[in-house]
Structure 1
Amino acid sequence: MATAPSSVDRPVTVYVTAQLLCIPLALLVAWELVSAGLPPWGAVACWLALSAYLSRKRLPSGVLGAGLQLGAVITVLAPLVPYLVAAVEGANVTAVDIATELFGPALAFTVFAAFAYAVGLFLKRRARRKLTRQARKGLRR
């Protein structure tokens, strides 16, 4: 009697790719937390959450696509962290102050993030097509 293929059969490259993406993203989060004057323990939580999410993907290209999209979101939000902390602490920070301070770095981060997000979309679409082809052939459930 043949057994059905397991839905958790993932190549080792999925886990390696997930870790290779999660470590730099967690370091980026740690850098932002430290620059905002907060303890970097949130980076450990970020690493664990991203590792758990990305390691559930079935193909390395899906991991890379989702990781690049998450990295793009983190990159765009990164310059705002010090201002959010200052606003929570009650500093007199206006939207104009934030916009004038962030225009240069945020523009560069946004351009980089848009490129990374587009590449992530392409890779996720590639992974979805490959999984669809494999499902049609009966290789995956």
Structure 2
Amino acid sequence: MGMGTSTFVIRWVNLLTMLLAVAVIIFGVWMSTHNDGCRRSLTFPVIALGGFIFLISIIGFLGACKRSVVLLWIYLFVLLIVLIAILVFTVLAFIVTNNGSGHSNPGLRYKEYKLNDYSSIEKRVKSDYIWLMTEFHHLTKNS
């Protein structure tokens, strides 16, 4: 596969990704027109995600069209960071949603989960709560 074939593939993949990013941005704008609080709260993250995807696609598309090595390296580095972030998110999602920690209850089709099943998360929440309350007490005492 020569240089021409790889840049051709990069151009088309990024062109399709740009179109999908525009669709995500339009979906975010559509969500902002609804009065539902849940949809409105997700408006900015959806538009930001669409903009980020669009920016990455533009960098890859221009790097392939102009045969700019610098833009292609930036594109590859950003994609590496995105892939690592997806990997970390997936591992954390598997840790948090571990099937082995649920407790079966008679008459229920699902397992019940309690915070103490995740002792490390519970310790972190408790320590941050204690820290937050200490700081709040400190601030209100000095005012």
Task: Using structure 2 for the length normalisation, give the TM-score.
Answer: 0.31
| Higher RCO, Cα 8 Å, sep 6+ | 1
Task: Using structure 1 for the length normalisation, give the TM-score.
Answer: 0.31
